[in-house]
Amino acid sequence: LLPVPARAPPQAPFRFSPRRLRCPREHELLEDGDIHRHLYLQDILVSVTQVTEKPKVSEFSCHIAGCCQVFDTLEGYEHHYNTLHRNVCSFCKRSFPSGHLLDIHILEWHDSLFQIMAEKQSMYQCLVQGCVEKFKSSKDRKDHLVTVHLYPSDFRFDRPKKAKSSTKHSKSPLLQNASMPVDIKTFEQPQVDSMEISPVENMENASQPLSSLISLPPEKHLNRSRIPSTICFGQGAARGFKSMRKKI
């Protein structure tokens, strides 16, 4: 290292003094690089929008017992599997979008110890990851989700356990239920009464005979579905009967 004498202030009229430069976001030195970044992003966004043709394979069906959906792309199968079969409750076969929601469901619906403890302490945990709040009831939890986390009041993955809400769903599913979001899928999934997504579960809450649902003309179902409704709903139907018998 070369020797350095002590730093002296600049001699007038000269004013230079070495200084580290800080550039905040809007500094002019950063402009050109920012433009380049912006152009790069435009390219990326275009390529994400373009739906690339996925390679097709010969048709195959889902391996899960009772599910007869068929596929001709691996991605299609992957998404189906993840949506319906991956996070499935082994007790009631309802499926969930994530392991987190499945775990909460099992705890709150199928764990008798939970029920006992819930009488004495706040056991209903907030659904938002990172929030540690717990509540005495699922209604209190829902109020928290709505007021603190700005969740919609009809959040599909936070329905109270059906014993409390069975009276709400005695109407025909084909009529628009004011408390339900209006959606096309009520044709084949009349009601979503609980904290999951499954074509199966709504059977359990229908108070009208199953046959009236199956008698829906097939073209009302979305064309892409190749599940013959009698078969895939069959598994649910059997349980639907069972739970209808269990209903208080």
Site for other proteins in 139-158 (CB under 8 A): 148-152, 155-157
Query: Which residues in the chain belong to E strands, given as ranges?
Result: 60-61, 70-71, 124-125, 134-135
- Given 65, 113, 178, 184, the residue binding other proteins (CB under 8 A): 184
Q: Which of residues 206-235 bind other proteins (CB under 8 A)?
A: 222, 224-225
**What's phi and psi for 24, nearest 5 deg?**
-70, 175
**Residue whose CB is less far from other proteins, 154 or 247:** 154
Return the SS3 of 95. Answer: strand
9 contributes a contact to other proteins by CB under 8 A: no
Q: Which of residues 101-140 bind other proteins (CB under 8 A)?
A: 101, 128-131
Instruction: Encode burial over 31-67: b for 16+ CB neighbours within 10 A, e otherwise.
Output: eeeeeeeeeeeeeeeeeeeeeeeeeeeeeeebeeeeb
**Residue whose CB is less far from other proteins, 162 or 198:** 198
**Residue whose CB is less far from other proteins, 78 or 143:** 78
Least gap, CB of 93 to other proteins (angstroms): 12
Here the tokens at position 149 are: 């986390």
Which amino acid is present at 119? E
* 59/47 Cα distance (integer angstroms): 28
Here the tokens at position 119 are: 């009488």
- Per-residue contact string for residues 59-98; x = within reach of other proteins by CB under 8 A: ----------------xx-xxx-xxx-x--------x-xx
Return the SS3 of 5. Answer: coil
Q: Which of residues 20-59 bind other proteins (CB under 8 A)?
A: 20-25, 29-30, 32-33, 36-37, 40-41, 44-45, 48-49, 51
**Residue whose CB is less far from other proteins, 131 or 238:** 131
* Binding footprint of other proteins, residue count (CB under 8 A): 72
Can you count the helices (H) and strands (E) in the chain?
A: 8, 4
- Given 183, 207, 208, 209, the residue binding other proteins (CB under 8 A): 183
